Structure 1
Amino acid sequence: MAPGIWQILIIVVLIALLFGAGRISGLMGEVAKGITSFRKGLKEGEDGTDKDEGGNASISENAASEETTTASREDEKTRN
């Protein structure tokens, strides 16, 4: 048995009362931004231009140097 128009209307009213109109519109705006970002990513992937390839290398280098620094600090603490 499929829900009728009255059941759907009651559910929509309850959701609007629980979350408020501002929160629902904000959520829909975030969903729209996500869809736009997803489509933009698909277009960039089709073009073969990944802007993040160069950025990923520098991030991994920074993470590696950060791990080394943290490890050396821990070694100094254990020596003292």
Structure 2
Amino acid sequence: MKARYFASVRERIGLAEEEVAPPSEVSTVGELIAWLCGRGEGYALALADAAKVRVALDQTHARLDSPIGQAREVAFFPPMTGG
């Protein structure tokens, strides 16, 4: 699965995108975030508050309890603010 990182998430992780292969027990967006956080400090800092990070699976917004299924792409966005 291709993981894409945007804005401050990208800056903290240090990558715009990468191929990831989570273990089979990772089945939801929340579990995927937890797994990514275990990959290093940058991931942990970028995704620390999972409830505020926005996620899209195959370009469709997803919740933390959404199953990742056979998604080919997951995108992570920082919280949005208006102005």
TM-score where L is the length of structure 2: 0.18
* Higher strand proportion: 2
Between Structure 1 and Structure 2, the one with more helix by share is 1
Q: In terms of Rg, which structure is larger?
A: 1
Higher relative contact order (CA 8 A, sep 6+): 2
